[in-house]
């Protein structure tokens, strides 16, 4: 059986909102920022090597595994068993930091290396979030 | 054309997704309460570690070979399963999720679109690996049973490399010849032994039996299997999984229970789980089995089980908890170190074809149960619970080697070194 949703009005009814026609779904951060939910995960940045890219210790990272990796992207890689966030230098197979204090890292054949995904955005939490406090340490 | 896509030792592979430090290490996963090994990844398999062996028996061997041991992290497996199924589902408009890590695809009228099934299989594999970091095997066949056989070949036989296709007699013979009977979908160990007696040892030999003879000697199910092995599709999604005839929830305790209230809470909690599963398949419970026991290795082994029959079949958690409470005093015995308990719906009725009773009023409360299930689905199982199910701590599953809830708890999201 199919129901056709037409409202029948009877008795006292107020005035329909003049804005009703313009109502849309609310804004959702998920919808805006995550284009491939199945391939996306959250991570927590630890360390200071990407500060000039605007990524600070304790920032929240969104990593998308389905995005195509372009030269110079901020990426997450499995580098010798650790998730590592760096700029990727495809030409010279290097991981570059965004801080003068950290030297470029060349990826050698002996290294365990897998690209995990592209950091599509990062969040600075200007007020501490209770949910995340536990994982800051 | 049908395809079966499933993950390679799913639980173990899932453990590696967010823990890059164990990607190249042997990994095994333990069952509930860390009892047995239920998943062995390919690296650990090379060490000769069998499935379903009790953990304590092989503990020293695992330590010696630096095998990574994990408890079952169902929260993680459920999340990754959903992601994997979504990615696989992009490749076909007719997908049937068969289990946590397997899904069938049915390609109708795709022959003009897909010229090379091998290539298409590798495309699926690559996409799932790239987007979820789970390794999958893909088997194509002209029936679901052949797809399952091809999937077996893709993962277990040499030279297939993750994808196998059965689309003509040559490929069918090649694969079925190398498969033992019990690797055929629907042929269990017992049935396999009976067929062995008749001199049928491989899948190919089974395929060459007369379907009619198999039906008269065994069952209509074996007849169907033979037909399916010959490219005649007999199964469809509804038949692939029928409603369960019995639903049980039972488990051994993390540590022994002697307390009256603790045991009662544990049994009630199992009753609630059964009720939830019963509602999910839209059945009603007519008879409920409730039991508790000490360990068979104890002196004075104690076991008591009782059956409660509902006047009118029900799926109402509150009524089920009340029934358990009603018979519990007959099950509990002071001084027993209880090791195991559970509840099981042993007679179910279909919600849709439910026979109403003239003298007994239905005790169901579908609105309340729907609301109850909605809340637990939305906010996590156990968010609301009947009070009699108590608090979980004492008898909750032992999961000593549990990995973090990488995708389900904010406090556990993976750390990324900058």
Among residues A23, A28, A35, A49, which one is catalytic?
A49
Q: Which of A17, A23, A86, A101 is catalytic?
A: A86
Q: Check residue B394 and give its pLDDT.
A: 46
* Over residues B177-194, mean pLDDT: 91
pLDDT band at B180 (very low <50, low <70, confident <90, very high): very high
- Look at residue B206 and give its three-state secondary structure: helix
The three-state DSSP-derived secondary structure of B182-198 is HHCCCCCHHHHHHHHHC
Pairing of strands B136-141, B163-166: parallel
What is the spatial distance between Cα B364 and Cα B214, in angstroms, rounded to a whole number? Answer: 44
Q: What is the pLDDT along chain A (137 residues), one digit of tens a residue?
A: 555 555 555 566 677 777 777 766 678 899 999 999 999 999 999 999 999 999 999 999 999 999 999 999 999 999 999 999 999 999 999 999 999 999 999 999 999 999 999 999 999 989 888 888 766 65
Active-site residue, A86 included: yes
DSSP state of A35: S
Q: Residue A84: list chain B partners with CB under 8 A.
A: 416-418
Q: In chain B, what residues touch A63 (CB-CB under 8 Å)?
A: 416
Length of chain A equals 137
Query: Could you tell me which of B230, B135, B247 has the C-alpha nearest to residue B184?
Result: B230
What digits encode the pLDDT tens for the residues B288-307? 999 999 988 888 899 999 99
Which residue of chain B comes nearest to A38, CA vs CA? B83
Note whether A131 and B411 are within 8 A (CB): yes
Q: How far apart are CA B179 and CA B104, in angstroms?
A: 20
| Minimal C-alpha gap between B84 and chain A (Å) | 8
Residue B331 pLDDT grade (very low, low, confident, very high; cuts 50, 70, 90): very high
Give the distance from residue B8's alpha carbon to the nearest chain A alpha carbon, in angstroms.
19
Best of A41, A53, A80, A122 to disrupt the B interface (most B CBs within 10 Å) is A41
How far A14 CA lies from chain B's nearest CA (Å)? 31
Alpha-carbon distance of A15 to A110, in angstroms, equals: 73
Residues A55 and A20: beta-carbon distance below 8 Å: no
**Best mean pLDDT range from B127-141, B235-249, B298-312:** B127-141
Asked if A43 lies within 8 A of B83 by C-beta distance, the reply is no
Stretch 111-130 of chain A: residues touching chain B, C-beta under 8 Å: 112, 114, 116, 129
pLDDT of residue B352: 75
Interface contact A82-B407, CB threshold 8 A:
no
Q: How far apart are the first and last CA of chain B?
A: 47
The residue among A37, A53, A83 with the most chain B CBs within 10 A of its CB, best to mutate, is A83
pLDDT (mean) for B147-155: 96
CA separation for the pair B363, A110 (Å, rounded): 67
Read off the DSSP letter of residue B29: E
CA dihedral A10, A11, A14, A20 (to 10 degrees): -10
Residue B15, burial from CB neighbour count under 10 angstroms (0-12, 13-18, 19+): buried
| A128 interaction partners in chain B (CB closer than 8 Å) | none
Task: Name the residue among A38, A45, A131 with its Cβ closest to that of B131.
Answer: A38
Q: Is A70 a catalytic residue?
A: no
Partners of B166 in the beta sheet?
Answer: B141
Query: Which residues are bridge partners to B5 per DSSP?
Result: B103, B138
Q: Which residue of A has its CA nearest to B90?
A: A38
Return the bridge partners of B315, or none.
none
> Cα separation of B169 and B167, whole Å?
7
B153's tokens: 């070949």
Which secondary-structure segment (H or E) carries A77?
A: strand A74-79
Tokens of B138: 């893909």
CB contact under 8 A, B410 and A47: no
**B376 to each of B16, B303, B314, B381, how far by Cα in Å?**
29, 33, 20, 5
3-class DSSP assignment, residue B79: helix
Is B143 within 8 Å of B235 (Cβ atoms)? yes
Out of B20, B82, B83, closest to residue A78 by CB: B20
Coil, strand or helix: which one is A112? coil
| pLDDT tens digits, one per residue of B306-318 | 999 999 899 999 9
Mean pLDDT of B152-157: 93
Q: Are B20 and A39 inside 8 Å of each other by CB? A: no
R_g of chain B computed on alpha carbons: 24
Taking CA atoms, what residue in B is nearest to A41?
A: B407
User: What percent of chain B shows pLDDT beyond 70?
Assistant: 97
> Do residues B214 and B233 make contact, with C-beta atoms less than 8 angstroms apart?
no
Determine if residue A36 is left, alpha or beta; phi over 0 gives left, psi from -120 to 50 gives alpha, anything else beta: beta
A81 touches chain B (CB under 8 A): yes
């Amino acid at each position: 059986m199919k129901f056709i949703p037409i409202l029948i009005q009877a008795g006292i009814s107020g005035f329909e909102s003049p804005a009703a026609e313009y109502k849309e779904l609310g804004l959702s951060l998920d919808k805006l920022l995550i284009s491939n939910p199945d391939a996306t995960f959250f991570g927590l940045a630890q360390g200071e090597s990407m500060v000039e890219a605007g990524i600070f210790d304790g920032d929240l990272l969104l990593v998308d595994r389905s995005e195509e990796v372009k030269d110079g992207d901020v990426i997450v890689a499995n580098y010798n068993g650790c998730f590592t966030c760096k700029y990727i230098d495809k030409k010279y197979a290097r991981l570059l930091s965004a801080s003068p204090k950290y030297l470029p890292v060349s990826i050698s054949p002996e290294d365990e290396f897998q690209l995990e995904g592209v950091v599509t955005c990062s969040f600075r939490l200007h007020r501490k979030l209770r949910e995340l406090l536990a994982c800051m340490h | 054309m049908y395809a079966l896509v499933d993950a390679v030792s799913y639980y173990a592979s899932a453990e590696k997704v967010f823990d890059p430090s164990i990607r190249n290490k042997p990994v095994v996963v333990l069952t509930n309460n860390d009892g047995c090994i239920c998943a062995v990844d390919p690296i650990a398999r090379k060490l000769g570690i069998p499935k379903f062996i009790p953990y304590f028996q092989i503990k020293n061997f695992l330590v010696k070979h630096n095998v990574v041991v994990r408890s079952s992290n169902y929260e993680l497996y459920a999340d990754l399963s959903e992601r994997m199924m979504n990615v696989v589902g992009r490749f076909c408009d007719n997908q049937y999720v068969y289990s946590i890590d397997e899904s069938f695809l049915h390609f109708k009228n795709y022959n003009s679109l897909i010229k090379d099934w091998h290539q298409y299989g590798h495309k699926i594999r690559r996409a799932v690996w790239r987007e979820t970091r789970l390794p999958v095997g893909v088997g194509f066949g002209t029936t679901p049973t052949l797809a399952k056989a091809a999937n077996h070949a893709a993962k277990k036989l040499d030279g297939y490399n993750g994808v196998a296709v059965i689309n003509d007699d040559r490929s069918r013979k090649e694969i079925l010849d190398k498969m033992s009977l019990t690797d055929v979908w629907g042929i269990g160990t017992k049935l396999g032994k009976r067929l062995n007696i008749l001199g049928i040892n491989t899948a190919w030999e089974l395929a060459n039996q007369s379907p009619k003879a198999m039906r008269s000697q065994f069952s209509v199910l074996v007849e169907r299997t033979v037909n399916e092995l010959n490219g005649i599709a007999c199964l469809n999604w509804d038949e692939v999984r029928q409603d369960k005839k019995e639903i049980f929830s039972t488990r051994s305790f993390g540590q022994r229970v002697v307390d009256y209230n603790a045991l009662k809470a544990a049994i009630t909690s199992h009753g609630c789980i059964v009720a939830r599963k019963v509602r999910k398949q839209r059945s009603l419970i007519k008879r409920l089995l409730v039991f508790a026991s000490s360990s068979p290795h104890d002196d004075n082994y104690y076991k008591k089980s009782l059956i409660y029959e509902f006047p009118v079949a029900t799926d109402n958690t509150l009524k089920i908890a009340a029934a358990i409470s009603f018979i519990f005093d007959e099950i509990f015995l002071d001084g027993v170190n209880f090791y195991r308990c559970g509840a099981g719906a042993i007679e179910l009725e279909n919600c849709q074809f439910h026979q109403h009773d003239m003298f007994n009023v239905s005790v169901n409360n579908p609105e309340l149960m729907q609301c109850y299930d909605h809340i637990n689905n939305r906010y996590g199982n156990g968010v609301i619970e009947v009070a009699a199910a108590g608090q979980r701590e004492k008898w909750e599953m032992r999961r000593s080697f549990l990995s973090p809830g990488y995708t389900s708890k904010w406090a556990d999201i993976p750390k990324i070194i900058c």
